Structure 1
Amino acid sequence: MEIVKGRGSLSEDFSHLLILSAPTLFATVFGEGFKEIIQKIFKERRNLFSFEHTYFLKMDGKIAGMVLSYDWTIKRREEINTGRALFKHMGLKLIKRFPLLLKLNGVVGILNRGEYYISNIAVYPEYRGMGIGTTLLSFVEESMKSKNIKKLTLDVETKNEGAIRLYKRLGFIILRKVSTKLKGITFEFFRMEKIKAK
């Protein structure tokens, strides 16, 4: 196993894995063509889907999984740039989707001072059960030790029982349950956190 920093040439793997992390959610919020759009945005700097915030795990030279994560300062600094990047590549389609994005942003991805957010983590189906998710999460936790971060946070769909079990095993606790209705579909999430060890 080898962990590598994200780079533009990995945009196809990024889009596949990002969509695997929440397939119904991304299809509902962004609609058709999202995979191609997110590949373009991934290649750009200073946005919350950028290669700059992504790490991939390789097995036998092939990408097996990825994690997209960032701290509260990056979230504040790059949130507007992310909207600009989406508008640049989606155009007027974004205006139609904007109310959905606002509703979703009202329940997930909320970060407070001193928090580090795991936005998305995914493993290709053929590599599941091999400890890749655990390795990626441990890497994120280890890499934040040098920063002034108090806790790791994430949002997970309540129906994603396998991921919830993994997070609990790694010391995350459920803080609260939130939900939102998007295009007639109710999405429920657990906000989970892990306090940084002293």
Structure 2
Amino acid sequence: MKVKVRKTKSNDFGMIAELIYSTEPFPQVIWGKGKKEQILERILELLEDEDNRYSSKLVMVAELNDRVVGMILLIPYVELRRLSKNTDKILLKYQHKDFRKRFIEYKELSYNLEEAEREELYISNIAVFDEFRGKGIGRALFEKAEEEAYLIGFDKLSLTTKDEKVIKYYISEGFTIEQVMKLEDKNLYRMVKEL
């Protein structure tokens, strides 16, 4: 079974939304109030909008037997802060009125963190459906990210994670922990891979 990694097509959006949704342990904190279906619609809205950090133009998908099984979202450093702020403006309207102030405070804290540096292509999200893990799909997505980084002149990939369970996997893919930052009561690990 050969994994194919390619640019996103509009008929991939539903699968991509599911994958992005799966990356957040508490989706309503990031995506706002609502049931899963409502949040998925919100993510679809973001995928269709070109001026936010979830724009489909930033997404590559992994395909196995003509089915989308994984995705990676790549943001050049120079676009990261602007796209993040645009995303937050969109998502603010979906926050419950009692949580809007908290959402703004959390986002302002996150703006002070350096998710990436100038010479890095930032991996904002990477996800593979559970039933396809362990089949080399993550590796294929990382390889495509490396290709993209070379094409646009970057010599490093970076990502951040709060999930300590995946750090070992990222290290096996050649990433090293560059920095440990605090975001409220959680550690946020900034990891970098030199190309």
TM-score (norm 2): 0.83
Q: Which residue of 2 aligns with 1:11?
A: 13
2:156 to 142, 151, 154: 151
The C-alpha deviation readout for 1:71-106, integer Å capped at 9, x for no partner, is: 11222453443334335x637758442222223343
Q: Which residue of 2 aligns with 1:117?
A: 122
- How far did residue 28 of structure 1 move? 2.6
1:101 to 95, 103, 107: 107
Which has the larger displacement, 165-174 or 89-98? 89-98
Aligned-partner SS, 1:23: coil
Aligned-partner SS, 2:151: coil
1 CA distance for matches of 2:45 and 2:95?
13
Cα gap change, 1:64 to 1:79, in 2 (>3 Å): same
The C-alpha deviation readout for 1:106-146, integer Å capped at 9, x for no partner, is: 34x62322211001101001001101111101110112112
1:78 to 83, 93, 97: 83
Superposed, 1:17-96 pairs within 5 Å as: 17-24=19-26, 26-33=27-34, 34-87=39-92, 90=94, 95-96=100-101
2 CA distance for matches of 1:92 and 1:22?
18
1 CA distance for matches of 2:15 and 2:33?
18
Q: Size of the alignment, in residue pairs?
A: 187
Pair 1:129 & 2:130 matched: no
2 CA distance for matches of 1:98 and 1:36?
22
Indicate conservation of the 8 Å contact 1:56/1:63, yes or no. yes
2 CA distance for matches of 1:31 and 1:92?
7
Task: Structure 2: state its 5+ residue gaps.
Answer: none
TM-score (norm 1): 0.82
Indicate conservation of the 8 Å contact 1:67/1:120, yes or no. yes
- How far did residue 51 of structure 1 move? 0.2
Pair 1:165 & 2:164 matched: no
Q: Structure 2: which amino acid aligns with 1:27?
A: Q
Task: Structure 1: state its 5+ residue gaps.
Answer: none
The percentage of counterpart residues that share the same residue type is 26
1 CA distance for matches of 2:112 and 2:11?
32
